Amino acid sequence: MANATDHLWMHFTRMASYSAGEVPTIVRGEGAYVWDAQGRRYLDGLAGLFVVNAGHGRTELAEAAAKQAGELAYFPLWSYAHPKAVELAEKISSLTPGDLNRVFFTTGGSEAVEAAWKLARAYFKRTGQPNKYKVISRYIAYHGTSMGALSITGLPGIKSDFEPLVPGAIKVPNTNFYRAPEHGDSPEAFGRWAADEIGRAIEREGPDTVAAVFLEPVQNSGGCFPPPPGYFERVREICDAYDVLLVSDEVICSWGRLGEYFGAVRYGYQPDIITTAKGITSGYAPLGAMIASDRLMEPFLTETGMFAHGVTFGGHPVSCAVALANLEVFAREDLVGHVRANEDAFRSTLEKLYDLPIVGDVRGDGYFYGIELVKDKTTRETFDEAESERLLRGFLSTALFQAGLYCRADDRGDPVVQLAPPLIAEQQHFDEIEQILRTVLTEAWARL
């Protein structure tokens, strides 16, 4: 649309990129595809933004929203409840691991992460350890854009404009085995080393000052870093030893993305808090949640106790109704089981791209993959900043979209192409993704 740049300020967008061109405008979606204003079809290889897990065009979710809006469009959860929030909280607690039974609703992922840090601080103040306020997270990890969540985020490029940030956010190495600085010949040894770096950071800061560790089951930024064997088991041991809360940031990794309702279940660890959003409604309405253990709520159950935090639209009735309808779709069609049944086929289809000289690594789990691009497969030499600019933003992003694939080509870390299709995707979609990537990446290599 010609007037899109006149008034619409797009998120994480170089607005100058459209000074002489038209902004791509998506007008419709159905299944695993979306269409633009000119009627062109694209395979949605990123589920919107790791969001549309049940696929586009689910009329039953729209109908659930309309029905709830007609009954009760809005009421806050500030000292009151409404039926859909109660029902959804109960449903979520039936799916979470262990005693994660307390659901605090937000409107999105950044708010959920913000709430988790605030809860960690408040919990330790109320249990006689007021100096425990710091958090540990990983290099290059993305945890959100509000000031607390941005502080936890490990991406310098999106933080510098907003500094100084919230103090007390400490960074440790991530689990990118392809670029392992230690133990590159053994995933198990590398995982132990990476987990122990968290323990060493706690020791450096002082265990009496560290409140929580924030980790994604599969780290998104940098291109989908799965945990090495034994990693989370060791992290859990470390957190227990130092009385530090383990927060599983599952804004992306929950609701079937990794073949389980929660990534913590996939990798067999017990968090103290889960943060979630995105796929909880498959994007048909905004909703997020911080899910805490019963233990963490205990200090707030006294006569005058209160977690002094909240957001106006957290647990919105319409969003909760959509989430419940979304989970009905998940159960009826066994979308989580569908991912488990097809993830090996997705991986093997993407791994066909290893015959291209530009493809260095294919990594991920479930329906969540990153393909790292390199200049030299033997030495794993990466692209410098200018080359990445030409490759990713100068060519790949536009070329992939024009070829009919919506995905992410990014260099938050090393240059990668990221893929996270709707959970309904099947072999025909995997093949289409592979064929488009093969054509465009072959041309990209020829341009270098």
The confidence score (pLDDT) of residue 392 equals: 82
CA distance 295 to 298: 5
Mean pLDDT of 13-21: 81
CA distance 172 to 301: 35
Is 224:369 a contact under the CB 8 Å cutoff?
yes
The confidence score (pLDDT) of residue 21 equals: 79
Report in angstroms the alpha-carbon separations of 251 from 19, 99, 217, 219: 33, 19, 10, 11
Label residue 331 exposed, middle or buried (CB < 10 Å: 0-12, 13-18, 19+): exposed
Is 184:177 a contact under the CB 8 Å cutoff?
yes
Mean pLDDT of 361-366: 98
Q: Which residue type is seen at 122? A: A
pLDDT at 413 over 80: no
Is 249:280 a contact under the CB 8 Å cutoff?
no
Which contiguous run of DSSP H or E holds residue 389? Answer: none
Q: Which domains does the chain have, with CATH numbers?
A: 62-333 (3.40.640.10), 334-447 (3.90.1150.10)
Q: Encoding tokens for residue 412? A: 């938050």
pLDDT at 1 over 80: no
Phi, psi of 356 (to 5 degrees): -85, 135
pLDDT digits (tens, 9 = 90+) for 83-113: 999 999 999 999 999 999 999 999 999 999 9
> Picking from 6-15, 164-173, 259-268, which range would have the lowest pLDDT averaged per residue?
6-15
Q: Encoding tokens for residue 61? A: 């979710």
Among residues of the chain, what percentage have pLDDT more than 90?
90
CA distance 184 to 192: 12
pLDDT at 19 over 90: no
Beta-bridge mates of residue 219:
225
Name residue, tokens 């299944």.
31
Tell me, rounded to whole angstroms, the distance of Cα 265 from its chain centroid: 16
Quote the pTM value: 0.96
The confidence score (pLDDT) of residue 405 equals: 98
Q: Which residue type is seen at 375? A: K
Shortest CA distance to 273 belongs to which of 212, 226, 195?
A: 212
Which ranges of 97-186 does DSSP label H, i.e. alpha helix? 109-126, 147-152
Among residues of the chain, what percentage have pLDDT more than 70?
100
The confidence score (pLDDT) of residue 354 equals: 98
Query: Rounded mean pLDDT of the chain?
Result: 96
CA distance 101 to 290: 10
Mean pLDDT of 196-218: 98
pLDDT at 80 over 60: yes
CA distance 319 to 17: 34
The confidence score (pLDDT) of residue 366 equals: 98
Is 194:395 a contact under the CB 8 Å cutoff?
no
The confidence score (pLDDT) of residue 16 equals: 84
The confidence score (pLDDT) of residue 14 equals: 85
CA distance 335 to 344: 15
pLDDT digits (tens, 9 = 90+) for 58-77: 999 999 999 999 999 999 99
Is 223:363 a contact under the CB 8 Å cutoff?
yes
CA distance 254 to 277: 8
Report in angstroms the alpha-carbon separations of 88 from 45, 105, 142, 385, 437: 29, 10, 27, 46, 39
pLDDT digits (tens, 9 = 90+) for 112-131: 999 999 999 999 999 999 99
The confidence score (pLDDT) of residue 2 equals: 59
Burial 110-135 (b: 16+ CB within 10 A, else e): bbbbbbbbebbbbbbebeeeeebbbb
Label residue 438 exposed, middle or buried (CB < 10 Å: 0-12, 13-18, 19+): middle
CA distance 277 to 336: 17
pLDDT at 170 over 90: yes
Relative to beta strand 273-276, strand 288-292 is: antiparallel
